Structure 1
């Protein structure tokens, strides 16, 4: 049974979420205080988190930053559920690593559908990412191309994994730096380009062009079948 964490300070909304999601046979853990949720995540595993942004104790943005900085939680699917409906708020939440953003008022059935979609994707990507001959083993941290190993550094592996998990999406330079180097990175942004160029060389001629530069944005991975 998948465990879903709900962090929501509105009692009525929290109870509605618990009632609805329990009918889909999820195990539910809920908190109204952000700090309590943060403390819980230190030592407990969940399969998906639903975060409000404006919370007592610790806001949702800071909880999300913590999730993406902790190795054991880094790939945890996160849905932001918030009354903050301005475009800038959504961009900030997604840039910090949220997988989805739903504004209040919302449809509980739509939320349930998004949860199912994220959990399916999470299970699929749990151990292996395979894209047309390229295989990324997340547990063993091994990359192979047509069963031949490719030796990557730690950062190169993390870059390839993140781009592959977001296949087809243009990922900003800021997002890549935050996700791979961390939010406290103070080096030069050129570091990202150096690692991308090295990664392309190691992938070889057949796969190097999959990692595309997106002008004034960053990079995206587009596999051969999806290459425009």
Structure 2
């Protein structure tokens, strides 16, 4: 069935095979692409039910593929899982929280894969803001959007995203402090 086609775009053969093996047998047709250009060609050619996109790819990187997908409304509707072993590179281009795709860190296990796919499917169903909705009545001042209000809303969203990042970073710092304390304790015991 066409809706069960999953495209795995990853330059690592092991990852493509791993995804294929972790999916429930018989339910999916897995298509594979080893670089961004090959992946984008399959995205345009096939009717896909899910795209799994590595962020670091040869020929055309995952960021460029992502932008091509987002530029076309019919492709934006396809559930998307972005994979990477370096989440910071994804967050640098696409700040958290990720609204329209799910992130899957490498390495991953079957449970993480299935959860990411389910989350991507749910996120793909969310309504999207249409960038062109307010441009239709520019002649009437009463219907124009106040730029200051728009900036405040954007700033508010940015502040929330930054606060979420700070909270996450603080948790990581606390985890690192705990690990450092354990290492120091271990070294002290060995020195005795």
Q: TM-score, normalised by structure 1?
A: 0.53
Report the aligned-residue RMSD.
3.4
Aligned with 1:84 (options 86, 93, 111)? 86
Q: In the aligned structure 2, how far is the partner of 1:97 from the partner of 1:121?
A: 7
What residue ranges of structure 1 are gaps of 5+ in the alignment? 130-160, 164-178, 182-189, 201-212, 220-228
Q: CA deviation at 1:76?
A: 1.6
Q: Which has the larger radius of gyration?
A: 2
Aligned with 1:217 (options 156, 169, 176)? 156
Q: CA deviation at 1:24?
A: 6.8
Decide whether the 8 Å contact of 1:5 with 1:30 is kept in 2. yes
Q: In the aligned structure 1, how far is the partner of 2:83 from the partner of 2:156?
A: 26
What residue ranges of structure 2 are gaps of 5+ in the alignment? 146-151, 159-192
| Larger helix share, 1 or 2 | 2
The alignment partner of 2:23 has SS state of helix
Decide whether the 8 Å contact of 1:80 with 1:98 is kept in 2. no
Indicate the residue corresponding to 1:15 in structure 2: 17
Aligned length: 144
Decide whether the 8 Å contact of 2:81 with 2:120 is kept in 1. no
1:109 aligns with 2:111: yes
Q: Which runs of 4+ in 1 moved over 4 A?
A: 94-98, 197-200
Between 1 and 2, higher relative CO (CA 8 Å, sep ≥ 6) is seen in 2
Q: CA deviation at 1:110?
A: 1.3
Q: CA deviation at 1:5?
A: 1.0
